């Protein structure tokens, strides 16, 4: 479960599928009320995930996020780390499919699994342009601004 309005991995909790996990999940619901999102944990996340930044249906850049040792969250602000990543044709196709599914979100960061390209989520406030700049050089915000003006 995760806080609907959270970011950087805050408010995201993973629960076991047993009575204890159910109780923890109910406690989480009480804390955040109806403003939560249920998202299945995918074992493949242990390999990290891919964040694709898009503006007006065009891919601006991509990076791979990995969790720190002993952790499971890949969020950079939550202790994960990033590395440069070139989308394979298959992952680019999966990303473009997801971008089209959320075409009303002009600026988005969508997350895919590395191996199978499974769609995880899209974020309307991805906040990783500086990360793209540090990994690849350049000014990725210029790519976004050209669509706005």
pLDDT digits (tens, 9 = 90+) for 2-30: 665 555 566 677 777 889 988 888 887 88
Q: What is the pLDDT of residue 6?
A: 57
So what's the pLDDT on residue 22?
A: 86
Buried b vs exposed e over 69-79: b needs ≥16 C-beta within 10 Å? eeeebbbbebe
The secondary structure of residue 7, as a DSSP letter, is -
Question: How far from 127 is each of 4, 52, 82, 132, 140, CA to CA, in Å?
Answer: 16, 11, 13, 10, 11
Give the pLDDT score at 60.
87
**Interior CA angle at 39 toward 109 and 28, to 5°?**
115
pLDDT in tens, 97-119: 999 999 888 888 899 999 999 99
pTM: 0.75
Q: Please give the average per-residue pLDDT across 64-75, as a whole number.
A: 78
Measured distance CA(4)–CA(6) in Å, rounded: 6
Residue 126 has pLDDT above 70, yes or no: no
């Amino acid at each position: 479960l995760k806080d609907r309005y959270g970011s950087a991995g805050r408010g995201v909790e993973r629960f076991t599928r047993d009575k204890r996990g159910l109780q923890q999940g109910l406690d989480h619901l009480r804390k955040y009320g109806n403003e939560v999102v249920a998202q299945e944990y995918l074992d493949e996340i242990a390999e990290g995930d891919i964040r694709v930044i898009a503006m007006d249906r065009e891919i601006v850049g991509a990076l791979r996020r990995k969790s720190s040792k002993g952790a499971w969250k890949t969020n950079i602000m939550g202790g994960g780390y990033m590395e440069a990543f070139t989308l394979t044709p298959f992952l680019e196709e999966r990303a473009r499919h997801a971008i089209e599914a959320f075409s009303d979100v002009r600026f988005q960061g969508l997350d895919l699994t590395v191996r199978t390209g499974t769609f995880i989520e899209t974020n309307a406030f991805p906040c990783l342009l500086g990360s793209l700049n540090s990994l690849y050089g350049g000014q990725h915000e210029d790519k976004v601004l050209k669509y706005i003006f």
